[in-house]
Amino acid sequence: MRVARLAAALALVLALASIGNAATMEIFVRPEGDAVGGQERYGYGSPWYQLDRDATANPNAVYHWYSDGSGAARWTFLQFDLSDLVDMAAAVTRATFNFNLLPDGWGEGTRGNLNHLSNAATANGQATQGLGGDQPVGSVTSAMTLGWNYFDVTEYIRADLAAGFSWSVFSFNQVGYAGMFFSSGETEERSYLQVTYNGGTVDPNLPTPEPSSVVLMLLGAAGLLALRRKGVM
């Protein structure tokens, strides 16, 4: 009974230690780190032309619409600095993409899609590069409440860090006859990544004990107690 109690106590201590070493980092998009791109045309049948990407746009826009034969589309590019998380891919336990959804969106169902770029090797922190995502993350829908919302991007941040990328790149892409707006990098409600990782103030390059190592520690402690009870120690 005492052996079982000791093992349970050690397991609890290790779990609490793991929680105590967890830390959270918030990586906010910079003013130059988000930009709105788009296209327009002057009438039905006329060619589309591309707009210059605007890093000062406020708010960020994602939409597609037609009116009186003309049309327009907007999409938003974002880049987040990962330099403070170098060599920490294995330590990341959770990451979320957080954005502040604003009023005046329209359309039932999906209003915009968030995508992640699988190869951000050329990213430099300037969203005017126009790097768009190629991996679907999630959709903003008409059912979402205004204000802060998030998508889980843990696997994408881990992949970026494992590949050694300095920036994590995302884009919000438009869908037909729908639109959405969210706060830009020029505001206090700018988008950000929230990354939780093991380590806290501990050197992040130190290895995290594997489950098998924890089991061995528990078995060793139980064995010592058993030997003590038999009078060997």
Three-state secondary structure call for residue 120: coil
Enumerate domains of the chain plus CATH numbers: 21-202 (2.60.120)
Task: Read off the pLDDT of residues 97-150 as tens digits, 9 standing for 90 and up.
Answer: 999 999 999 999 999 999 999 999 999 999 999 999 999 999 999 999 999 999
Give the residue among 13, 67, 32, 4 at the shortest CA–CA distance from 185.
Answer: 32
Task: Read off the pLDDT of residues 162-213 as tens digits, 9 standing for 90 and up.
Answer: 999 999 999 999 998 999 999 999 999 999 999 999 975 334 343 344 444 4
> Which helix (H) or strand (E) element contains residue 212?
helix 211-230
**What does pTM read for this prediction?**
0.78
Give the residue among 47, 48, 78, 49 at the shortest CA–CA distance from 62.
Answer: 78
C-alpha 135/C-alpha 79 separation (Å) is: 15
Distance between start and end Cα atoms, the chain: 19
